[in-house]
């Protein structure tokens, strides 16, 4: 997801409200009760046009009677409260790895930044979905430490996705 690497994947703009609602309606018609949306951003900020658009999308999808979950990168308390108020029920924000290995894989923000986002989400009343990535050169100890950190979150994440790195040329 890093903008620092050329992987051949083209950047896409945020889909229109209509496009997203159409996909959500199709998912609902096929029995889905939860609709999850994500964007590979560092984060969105309260008061920006992008954030207002996200809130509109959340309200429209929620109006279909579905639970809404999102992953939008780093957010603070104000963004978390507004997302919750708009209808988000769950927020995904992975910690990625152990705090010790984190500086080896990420240079644009800190492990604490990730924990701060999770704390803002928890304080807002949204449930947390948080896990990590394996296969980045971390040790077994790093993997166990990641699980330890996740298990110590209060409240603990509702779900813990464990992703496996699929190396891409140029990264």
Q: pLDDT tens digit string along 116-151?
A: 999 999 999 999 999 999 999 999 999 999 999 999
Q: Average the pLDDT over 72-89 and give the result.
A: 98
CATH number for the domain that contains residue 108: 3.20.20.70
- Residues β-bridged to residue 38: 71
What the block records as the tokens of 58 is: 């959340």
Is residue 38 one of the residues assigned to a domain?
A: yes
Residue with tokens 């986002």: 117
Instruction: Report percent pLDDT > 70 for the chain.
Output: 92
Is residue 109 one of the residues assigned to a domain?
A: yes
Burial 70-108 (b: 16+ CB within 10 A, else e): bbbbbbeeebbbbbbebbbbbbbbbbbbbbebbeeeeee
Q: What is the pLDDT of residues 34-55, one digit of tens each?
A: 999 998 777 789 999 999 999 9
Q: How far apart are CA 143 and CA 135, in angstroms?
A: 10
Residue with tokens 């950047």: 11
pLDDT band at 63 (very low <50, low <70, confident <90, very high): very high
Distances (CA, A) of 163 to 7, 22, 95, 97, 148: 19, 28, 11, 11, 17
104 Cβ contact partners less than 8 Å away, ≥ 6 residues apart: 137
Is residue 144 one of the residues assigned to a domain?
A: yes
- Domain tally for the chain? 1
Is residue 9 one of the residues assigned to a domain?
A: no
Distances (CA, A) of 108 to 13, 14, 111: 22, 22, 10
Per the structure, the complete domain to which residue 124 belongs is given by 17-164
């Amino acid at each position: 997801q890093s903008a620092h690497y050329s992987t051949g994947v083209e950047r896409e703009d945020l889909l229109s409200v209509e496009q997203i609602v159409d996909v959500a309606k199709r998912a609902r018609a096929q029995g889905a009760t939860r609709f999850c949306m994500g964007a590979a951003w560092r984060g969105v900020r309260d008061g920006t046009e992008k954030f207002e658009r996200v809130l509109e999308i959340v309200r429209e999808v929620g109006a279909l009677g579905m639970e809404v979950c999102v992953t939008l990168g780093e957010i603070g308390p104000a963004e978390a409260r507004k997302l919750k108020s708009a209808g988000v029920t769950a927020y995904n924000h992975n910690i990625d790895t152990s705090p010790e290995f984190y500086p080896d894989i990420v240079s644009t923000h800190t492990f604490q930044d990730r924990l701060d986002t999770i704390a803002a989400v928890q304080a807002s009343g949204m449930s947390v979905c948080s896990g990590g990535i394996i296969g980045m050169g971390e040790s077994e100890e790093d993997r166990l430490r990641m699980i330890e950190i996740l298990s110590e979150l209060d409240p603990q994440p509702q779900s813990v996705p464990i992703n496996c790195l699929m190396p891409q040329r140029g990264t």
